[in-house]
Structure 1
Amino acid sequence: MAQFKVHGRAEHLRPIRADLSDVLHRAAVEVLGLPEAKRFHRFFPMDAEDFPTPDGRTERYTVVEVVMFEGRSVATKKAFYRRLFADVQTLGISPVDLEVVILETPRHDWGIRGLPGDELELSYRVDR
């Protein structure tokens, strides 16, 4: 299980929302091993005054938060970052303008479809 939250300036995030969702999903499927049908992306387009740009970044600064079950290796997570840094460039976001944070939680800390996450039968592995 993984959920994505994407924050960015509205004038830059809205026009690329669908394409960015596709980039995130391809990386999640191909690198993190999520099933094709698992796409949980939420977008938070913000006004400039609500989403300041840190020094050295442009107005295309974008933050992606991924909340997922723990278990993936450091190598897998690094491969995911590298994939995103490469692929977002096709959308006009340079690697310096992308921040990605992965927040991992034990499966028992999720409640999904009426069950604790550690009682769910998964069709995919999270220990890659």
Structure 2
Amino acid sequence: MSQVKIYGVSKPLRAIRDRLSDVIHACVVEALQFPLNKRAHRFLYLEPEDFFMPEGRTENYIIIELIMIEGRTIETKKKLINLLFERISQQIGLSLADIEICILESPAHNWGFRGKTGDEVSINYPINV
């Protein structure tokens, strides 16, 4: 299980939303071996005055949070992060300075979906990759 939140300034983020979602999903499918039909993305649009950002960032600055069940190797998580940097930069045109990524993990028993806790649900893709 994985969910993605993307934070950014409203106007520039809305302009790239669909393409960015496609790029993020392709990276998740490749690195985490997710099924193509498992996309859970939430875009959080902020007004410039509500989004304080580090020096040197532009209005295109985004933060990507990936929330997932724990179990992936360090190598797999690094692969995902590196794919995101590479492909978002190349395919969307954002500078690397304008992309920040954080992976947050929790045990399967902390998740609830399809009426059960995550450790009771059978999922059709690997977690331990």
TM-score by length of 2: 0.96
The match for 1:115 is: 116
1:26 aligns with 2:41: no
Q: Which runs of 5+ in 2 are unaligned?
A: none
Cα deviation, 1:21-80, whole Å, max 9, x if unaligned, reads: 001100010111111110000001110011122112111110001110000000011111
Contact 1:70 1:105 in 2 (8 A): yes
- Find the aligned partners of 2:105 and 2:77 in 1 and give their Cα distance: 11
RMSD: 0.8
- Find the aligned partners of 1:47 and 1:113 in 2 and give their Cα distance: 34
- Find the aligned partners of 1:42 and 1:94 in 2 and give their Cα distance: 22
Contact 1:53 1:59 in 2 (8 A): no
Q: CA deviation at 1:92?
A: 2.1
The match for 1:67 is: 67
1:8 aligns with 2:15: no
Q: CA deviation at 1:91?
A: 1.1
Runs of 4+ in 1 over 6 A off after TM superposition: none
TM-score by length of 1: 0.97
- Find the aligned partners of 2:56 and 2:34 in 1 and give their Cα distance: 33
Contact 1:3 1:67 in 2 (8 A): yes
1:54 aligns with 2:33: no
Give the paired residue count: 128
